[in-house]
Amino acid sequence: MKIDKGKVNSICERIIEYSLYTLVFFLPASKAFVEICATLAFIAWIVKNTNNYSFKLPKTDLNIPLLFFIIISIFSVTVTTRQPDISARTFFRKSMEYVIIFFMMAEVITTKKRLTNILIAILASSLIVGLDGIYQHIMKFDFVRRFPLYAGKVTATFQFSNNLAGYLITVLPIPISLVIHKVTNRRIRFSLVALSALLVVCLLLSRSRGAWLGFILALFFVCLFNGKKVFLVAILFLIILALFSPLAIRDQIRSFATLDTDVSTNDRMIIWETGWRMFIDKPLFGHGLGTFMSVFGKYKPKDYIEIVYAHNCYLQMAAEIGIFGLLIFLWFIVALIKSSIFKLLRFDDKFLKATLIGIVGGILAYLVHSFVDTHLYSLPLAVLFWAMAGLAAAKTGAK
């Protein structure tokens, strides 16, 4: 029986498409679902390319820096690491998975309809997260995974409040941008305003200072394309909201003035100093991909008990794959932002432009927060970053 290649390609592309929708929807709540959806999409992607006798990757402005990032990672796995089992597992089960998700997003989300569908999945998921966060604040546990508050802070479907905050600041700029740039009808715009307000309240309840700073940068970027007045109004709204917020949030805001005596900051300083010693010991190529925690104990102070991530993604990357690996990743980031801005300047479609502004704003907020947290090393948040990067890189048409 002759196989219809066109039909096979169509089925595979549909499987990839709906797997990606499902992946971003369940991303805040289930690591298992994320892995299942990513695997299903990858299998369909392999079948499609095998059917075409071709493994051509979608052409993006980021292919070259990504290629070099893969090369430096392979070098780390095969040459520099002293724990090849950990490094190989990290490379195949994390690094390559993230890169493949990036390319699948860039390849599949190329029409306005598909972009709209994936935005609906992301925003519907964020609505559940936001409602869950409010419920958790009132009831002291969330209704999805029964997580309790973390040190009095809201976490919603995430285990830690900072992870929730990282998710919120990456997603929030999208509905805000769609509202500010008036690309939807009044009913949808009102719904997006309500969603944005809900997520902002949850962001405040997470009491994550690094996320707040990242969000302000994202807000500035989103408003940059619509005049200074919008940004000033948005900041004024945040100030009023903060002033009338619960005492715990106001105390957290005041803590910016006392960072030198803050327990959380002092703990991070110890971790960063340890991470810096790790980097200085092997500055060029690092200790090996995925080995930070296993090497951390050798460099930490004797009276520091915990074994932790660096709480600075860039420092951890430098410690694991060296200065060359970090510079290549930063090259990828610069290329991503640069290509996105060039696309923004060329876009005529207001919806595509507003969406890309929101996506890039979210990525910027994420990258700022990553200076003080572990987002690139947390499965749901790492997948979120690479998925958003893929959306930014996709050559989405107006049809």
Tens digit of pLDDT for each residue in 132-177? 999 999 999 999 999 999 999 999 999 999 999 999 999 999 999 9
As a 3-state breakdown, the chain gives helix, strand, coil percent values, each rounded to 5, of 75, 0, 25
- Where residue 79 falls among pLDDT bands split at 50, 70, 90? very high
At residue 51, the pLDDT reads 83
The pLDDT assigned to 348 comes to 85
pLDDT over threshold 60, residue 55? yes
Kindly report the backbone phi and psi dihedral angles of residue 29, in degrees, each rounded to the nearest multiple of 5, phi listed first: -115, -25
Q: Give dist(CA 396, CA 333) in Å, integer.
A: 20
The arithmetic mean of pLDDT across residues 61-67, rounded, is 96
- Does residue 293 fall inside a structural domain? no
Task: Domain count for the chain, please give it.
Answer: 1
Which of 273-282, 342-351, 364-373 shows the lowest mean pLDDT across its residues?
342-351
Residue 389 in any domain: the answer is yes
| pLDDT confidence of residue 285 | 96
DSSP structure string for 6-49:
HHHHHHHHHHHHHHHHHHHHHTTT-HHHHHHHHHHHHHHHHHHH
Cα 24 to Cα 2, 113, 170: the distances in Å are 36, 16, 13
Over residues 113-130, mean pLDDT: 98
Please indicate, yes or no, if residue 296 is contained in any of the structural domains.
no
- Residue corresponding to tokens 């994936």: 118
In the numeric block, which tokens belong to residue 188?
Answer: 């949808």
CA distances from 339 to 16, 101, 218 (A): 25, 19, 18
Q: What value does the mean pLDDT take over residues 303-328?
A: 95
Cβ-based neighbours of 198, under 8 Å, separated by 6 or more: 127, 130, 131, 134
Give the long-range contacts of residues 240-246, CB within 8 A, separation 24 or more.
241/200, 241/201, 241/204, 242/204, 245/204
Cβ–Cβ under 8 Å, residues 309 and 291? no
- Tell me what pLDDT residue 246 has: 66
Domain range holding 111? 5-262+304-393
Q: Which two tokens mark 10?
A: 């169509």
How much is the pLDDT for 247? Answer: 64
Please choose, from the candidates 283, 320, 317, the residue with its C-alpha nearest in 3D space to the C-alpha of residue 82. 320
Could you tell me the pLDDT band of residue 228, with boundaries at 50, 70 and 90?
A: low
C-alpha span between 14 and 144 (Å, rounded): 29
Written as one string, the DSSP assignment of 316-357 is: HHHHHHHHHHHHHHHHHHHHHHHHHHHHHHH---HHHHHHHH
Tokens of 192: 């997006």
Question: What confidence tier does 78 reach under pLDDT thresholds 50, 70, 90?
Answer: very high
On the question of pLDDT at 93 being above 90, the answer is: yes
> Does residue 380 belong to any structural domain of this protein?
yes
pLDDT of residue 239: 72
Decide if 200 is inside a domain: yes
Q: Nearest to residue 61, comparing CAs of 374, 306, 343?
A: 343
* 118 belongs to a structural domain: yes
Is the residue at 288 inside a domain?
Answer: no
Q: Find the range with the poorest average confidence among 87-101, 206-220, 235-249, 282-296.
A: 235-249
Longest dimension (CA), the chain: 74
Residue 295 lies in a domain: no
Alpha carbon 294 to chain centroid, angstroms:
25
**Across all residues in the chain, what is the average pLDDT?**
91
Helix (H, G, I), strand (E, B) or coil at 57: coil
pLDDT beyond 60 at 1: no
Model pLDDT for residues 238-278, shown as the tens digit of each residue: 677 666 666 666 666 666 556 666 677 888 999 999 999 99
Q: Say yes or no to pLDDT of 95 above 80.
A: yes
Among 183, 178, 203, 181, which residue's Cα sits nearest to residue 126? Answer: 203
Whole-number pLDDT of residue 273: 96
Nearest-angstrom CA–CA distance, 189 and 175: 9
